[in-house]
Amino acid sequence: MEQREVLVVLFDGVQALDVSGPVEVFHGASQSEPGAYRIRTAGLDGTPVRTTSGLTLVPDLTLAEAGAPHTLLVPGGQGTRAPDPRLIDWLRDNAHRARRKVSVCSGALLLAEAGLLDGRRVTTHWMLCDTLARRFPALRVEPEPIYVRDGDVATSAGVTAGIDLALALVEEDLGRDIALAVARHLVVFLRRPGNQTQFSVQLAAQTAERRPLRDLQQWITEHPAADLSVDALADRAGLSPRHFARAFRDEVGMPPGRYVDRVRLEAARRRLEDTADGIAQVSRHCGYGTPEAMRRAFLRALGTSPAEYRRRFQPARPPVPAA
C-alpha cells in the first residue's frame, strides 16, 4: 500500500488547531490503516515555533531537508499577516512538487502570496475572504463553503473546517469506512459537505436596527413552517408590503424572500442532522410543503439531495441493544 507523506509547514504565529486538527485525522487514519500516512512537520530553521495561543511546537526537520510530499499542508494563524519572505520563497519554489496542496484558514494567504492559487477557486476564514480577494484579484474567492477543491489544491475555512477537509481527503484516499472510523473516534460528523456554509444565516445576515424587524427575524427562525410571504411578514411588522420589503433589505442586507429561504434550509439541515424524522415530515416542519420542494432547495443551495445530506452528515447511531 502506498504511504502518503503529509508535510505540515510550521512558522511563528501558527494557529495550533490548524495543525493539530488535520494531523489527528491523518494519524487516526494510520491507526485504522497502518502505514497509510507518514506525518512530518517542518519549519524554516527547524527551531521551535510559538503558536498564537502560546504553545510551542518543535518541527521534525527544516523545510530545506524536506522532500516532495504527497500532501503539503499550510496552516493559518497570525503569522500569515507578515510572513517571513523565506517561507514564501520556499513555497513558490517547492510546493509544486507535492501531489496536492492544502491550506487551512489564513494559510491560503501564504499559498496566494507564493502565486500558487492564481485562477483557482478558493476559500478561507469568512473574515478574511474580502482581504484575500482584494489582495489577489486573480483568485476566485468563495466566502461561504467550509472547503473548496480545485484540482490539486484544496483550501478550507477557519480552524475546525480543516478537520472536515482532512476527513474528505482521507475518504478520497482510503474510503468512507476509514474516514468514518476516524470521525467517530474524534467525535465529529462525517462529513460536512464542502459547500456547507461557514456560519448560520443568523450570523451571516445583519441584525435589523429597528426592534420590530429584529423581533421578526427571530420569529421567522422559530416558525419556518408559517406563512412567511412578504404580505404576511409585512402585516406582522405593521408595515405596508412595499415599505417592509425595502426596510428589511436595507437593514438585514438581503430581501425577505432570500432570508426566509436560508432560514428554512438551515432548519431542514438541522432536523436532518439531529432527528430521525422522515423527509416528508422534515419538509412540512420546515415550510417546504412537499419533499420535492425541499429537494429542489437542497440541490440549488448545496448541490446534494436531503437524503444524501443526511447520509453524509448525520452521525452514526449506535444499535439498539436487544431486550
Return the pLDDT at 160: 84
Domain 201-313 in CATH: superfamily? Homeodomain-like (1.10.10.60)
Strands (DSSP E) along 67-141, which ranges? 71-74, 100-104, 121-122, 140-141
The alpha carbon torsion through 173, 177, 181, 182 (nearest 10 deg) reads: 20
Give the strand pairing for 56-57 and 49-50. Answer: antiparallel
Beta bridge partners of 147: 156
Is 201-313 in the same CATH topology as 4-186?
Answer: no
Q: Which pLDDT belongs to residue 199?
A: 45
- From CA 83, how far away is CA 110, in angstroms rounded? 8
Q: Which of 236, 279, 253 is nearest to 228 (CA)?
A: 236
pTM, rounded to two decimals: 0.67
**Hey, what amino acid is at 287?**
G
- Annotated catalytic residue, options 105, 208, 279, 282: 105
Per-residue DSSP letters for 48-67?
A: -EE-TTS-EE--SEEGGG--
Query: And the C-alpha cell for 297?
Result: 432547495
| pLDDT of the residue at 215 | 87
What is the DSSP-derived secondary structure letter of residue 271? H
DSSP E strand stretches across 105-243 = 121-122, 140-141, 147-150, 153-156
The residues pairing with 37 across neighbouring beta strands, listed in sequence order, are 4
Domain range annotation of the chain: 4-186, 201-313
- pLDDT tens string, the chain, 323 residues long: the values are 678 999 999 999 999 999 999 999 999 999 999 999 999 999 999 999 999 999 999 999 999 999 999 999 999 999 999 999 999 999 999 999 999 999 999 999 999 999 999 999 999 998 899 999 999 999 999 987 889 999 999 999 987 889 989 999 999 999 988 888 888 788 665 445 545 554 444 444 556 677 788 889 889 988 999 999 999 999 999 999 999 999 998 888 889 999 999 899 989 988 887 788 999 999 999 999 899 999 999 998 888 899 988 887 655 444 444 43
129 is catalytic: no
Q: What share of the chain is helix, strand, coil (3-state, %, to 5)?
A: 50, 15, 35
CATH number for region 4-186: 3.40.50.880
**DSSP classification of residue 80:** G
What does the radius of gyration of the chain's CA atoms come to, in whole angstroms? Answer: 22
Nearest Cα residue to 79 out of 41, 114, 51: 51
Cα–Cα nearest to 154, from 207, 117, 203, 198: 117
- C-alpha 27/C-alpha 119 separation (Å) is 32
| pLDDT at res. 270 | 83
| Residues 41 and 10 sit within 8 Å (Cβ to Cβ) | yes
Task: Give pLDDT, residue 187.
Answer: 62
